[in-house]
Structure 1
Amino acid sequence: MAEKLPQMGILLFFLGAAFYLAVLPFIAYPVNSFIKPVPIFLLIIISWLTTSDKTTKLWLITALVFSLLGDIILTVAAEWAFKLGILLFVLAHCAYIRLYIQDAQFKLTRTLYFLPVLLFVIVSYWFILPSLGQMTIPATIYLCFLSFMVFTAFQVKQYPVLISGGSCLFLLSDFILALTQFVLVETNITNFLIMVTYYLAQFLLVLGITKRKVAI
């Protein structure tokens, strides 16, 4: 099967994402638990239909399934749900890391491209750290996995712009989420920015991974 994202799948993904973003200010739990994960569910279907290599398909769908579960859990306004959501996204990042490492070619130039991102991570962590409280350890562990995921994304040989770009958007989405959780007041604008960067991140990652020409 050709590793090409079907046009209908792309259309449905963006329609699903646009619908959720449009109704986001007007819905709450439990309604958002059903609408929020729909775009990721569509990416799972797209990945299943367009990824011919079994190993790639396994790890990509694993990453998306953990992401989908994390999306659902994070709609629950409770500390236990936030911690469980962190765990689920750590597992998603581990699956992405597995995909990236198999296609990685570690070079100094690629690492240098990552340095501005690392600086952003350090400054962001320093800014948010005083507000983390009891979430300091879980948030720090999550940030380590997220940062390593982005680092390995910069090392991939095939479609590095799509994959590193998607990973950076993932990082940006989580940074805005952390700000709203621990520093700033949650608003419709911040919620919109969190989700639009997150959906675009996942789309770019799926696009880059499914376009690979060889098995990894």
Structure 2
Amino acid sequence: MIIGSVIGLALALLVGLIGAEKTEQPKRILTFKTPLSLLFIVAWTLQPARNPGFAAMILTALVFCLGGDVLLALGSPKTFLLGLVSFLLGHVMYAAAFFTLGQVGPAMAAGMILFMAAGVVVWRWLEPHLGDMQTPVLAYIVIISTMVCAAAGLAANPAIPCITRATILIGAVLFYLSDIFVARQRFVVSALLNRAAGLPLYYSAQFLLAFSAAWVPL
């Protein structure tokens, strides 16, 4: 019942956020974005953690992402860079959590090949538009690709329930896809499509990862 209420409220705030993004007014965007992002922290708290260490790393990642959401919404170049750093730290924590339970093997190798190749394509697409942001964006691409590779390794761990493995891997991939729309918005072309597609992907990813933190066994 409580989980359903949180999801319902998140959907309502998401609709409001996409509408607010049309105005490009930071205060109006933050009116919806801040409580919406706080809800994925709330989602983490709704279930007792079976693996406290793993769950704590996921919570730390969620907090960094919350900070990134607020900083990016402020709209200035300086806060964008700070938000990028906050999200980068969030991905480092996600990767660390996934690596603790991942298995080195074919799944992780396949994830590495696929997403590092995708990272090269994304980099070649963005690089002409980046200016002095080349170094932080390249670091971000490497870190988020590593995070998805780590999730693929966790998905190969038979000690973790299948639904949990699938949820975490899907969440990681959705996060990766959502960031492509963030990059397109910031560096290539400003369009409502970027928010309309990227925001649902992003919040779906965060809620999947927040809920699944409690499903990983010790």
Q: TM-score scaled by structure 1?
A: 0.88
Which protein is richer in helix relative to its size? 2
The count of corresponding residues between Structure 1 and Structure 2 is: 210
- Distance in 2 of aligned mates of 1:74 and 1:112: 32
Is 2:205 the partner of 1:208? no
Deviations 1:11-49 (A, max 9, x none): 332332233224432461122123113222112112123
* 1:191 aligned partner, one-letter code: R
Within the candidate set 128, 144, 147, 2:145 is matched to 147
Matched with 1:35 is 32
Alignment of 1:88-167 (within 5 A): 88-156=86-154, 157=157, 158=160, 159-167=164-172
CA distance in 2, matches of 1:209, 1:115: 26
Residues 66-104 of structure 1: per-residue CA shift (max 9 Å, x gap)? 111110110122211111011100111111112111211
Q: Which amino acid aligns with 2:45?
A: W
Given that 2:44 and 2:214 are in contact with CA atoms closer than 8 Å, whether structure 1 keeps it comes out as yes
- Segments of 5+ residues of structure 2 without an aligned counterpart are none
Cα distance in 2, alignment partners of residues 19 and 31 from structure 1: 10
Work out the CA distance in 1 between the residues paired with 2:114 and 2:55.
31
CA contact (8 A) 2:108 2:153 kept: yes
Moved more, 201-210 or 161-170: 201-210
Alpha carbons 2:61, 2:89 under 8 Å: kept = yes
Q: Which moved more, 1:49-58 or 1:34-43?
A: 49-58
Among 61, 65, 82, the alignment partner of 1:67 is 65
Contact kept? 2:112, 2:145, Cα under 8 Å: no
For 1:192 and 1:135, locate their aligned partners in 2 and report how far apart those are by CA, in whole Å. Answer: 25
Please state if 1:48 is matched with 2:38.
no
Q: Residues 5 and 112 from structure 1, CA distance in 2 versus in 1: closer, same or farther, beyond 3 angstroms?
A: farther
Q: Is the 8 A contact 1:21 1:196 kept in 2?
A: no
Correspondence 1:170 to 2:175: yes
Which range moved further: 30-39 or 20-29? 20-29
Given that 1:48 and 1:57 are in contact with CA atoms closer than 8 Å, whether structure 2 keeps it comes out as no
- Tell me, in whole angstroms, the C-alpha distance in 1 between the residues paired with 2:203 and 2:9: 13
Aligned-pair Cα RMSD in Å? 2.1
The one-letter amino acid of 1:31's match is R
1:118 to partner: Cα distance: 2.8
How much identity, in percent, do the aligned residues show? Answer: 24
Tell me which of 84, 87, 109 is aligned to 1:86.
84
Deviation at 1:113, TM superposition (A): 4.5
Q: Tell me the distance in 1 between the aligned counterparts of 2:48 and 2:40.
A: 11
Q: Aligned letter for 2:103?
A: Q
